[in-house]
Structure 1
Amino acid sequence: MAMLEQVWRVPLDHPALAGHFPGHPIVPGVVVLDQVLCLAQSHVGGAVSTWQVGQVKFVSPSGPGDELSFVLEAGARGGLSFVVRCAERDVAVGSLTPGSP
């Protein structure tokens, strides 16, 4: 697999932003990870029915309207490594492994 990239702009009205955190909203890590998993699944189609998060580190926060760049690369044993960036800074880094069907 060649490197796979996708850009996603965080909607200003994304429902996960409400209450996370009032006055200074940030995108919850689970929303970022969900986008990574959707990109991984769309790339492999039905070849992998589930993914397991091998590791993930949330490096810096992102907020409403931020443009996030997702980069996935082939890793060991059918897994994927990923980096999520906003401008020049990393937001999250980690890896996924194929799960059992």
Structure 2
Amino acid sequence: MDQSSQSGHRYRTELCIPPEHPCLPGHFPGQPLVPGVLLLEHVATALRTWRGQRLARIVETKFMAPLLPGEVAELELVEKSGRIRFEILRESQLLARGIVEGAA
């Protein structure tokens, strides 16, 4: 599911990790959670789609709440003062946030 939008200094896209994803059985067997590294992979993909840049550095990141397999979340990248901030939300609940840097 990829519904994305962009405008100048902002990019948004939906993400949903299917329950069949190969990383899930090893990430808390019996009660799978989407690993943070997989969420960061989606941040990297969004940055590449939005800016044509690769993810060069994660300046900071914080995971606040888990994303469960099959749940839909929104990923938003925003450029402010030359920095790229991201947030991942499920409805209005903040799941993760951080700052990343891109490179050509």
Q: Please, what TM-score do these two structures have when normalized by structure 1?
A: 0.87
Partner of 2:48: 41
- CA distance in structure 2 between the partners assigned to 1:14 and 1:49 by the alignment: 23
Higher relative contact order (CA 8 A, sep 6+): 1
Match for 1:87: what amino acid? E
CA RMSD, 1 decimal: 1.4
* Amino acid across the alignment from 1:38: T
TM superposition shift of 1:49: 4.1
- Alignment coverage as a number of residue pairs: 97
Question: What is the CA distance between 1:41 and its match in structure 2?
Answer: 1.1
Matches within 5 A, 1:59-74: 59-74=64-79
Letter paired with 1:69: E
Contact 1:10 1:68 (8 Å CA) reproduced: no
Structure 1 portions without partners, runs of 5+ = none
Read off the aligned partner of 1:72 and give its amino acid letter.
L
Per the TM alignment, residue 18 of structure 1 is displaced from its structure 2 partner at its CA by 1.2
| Unpaired segments ≥5 residues, structure 2 | 1-7
Runs of 4+ in 1 over 2 A off after TM superposition: 48-51
Q: Which has the higher helix share?
A: 1
Match of 1:21 in 2: 28
Q: Percent identity?
A: 27
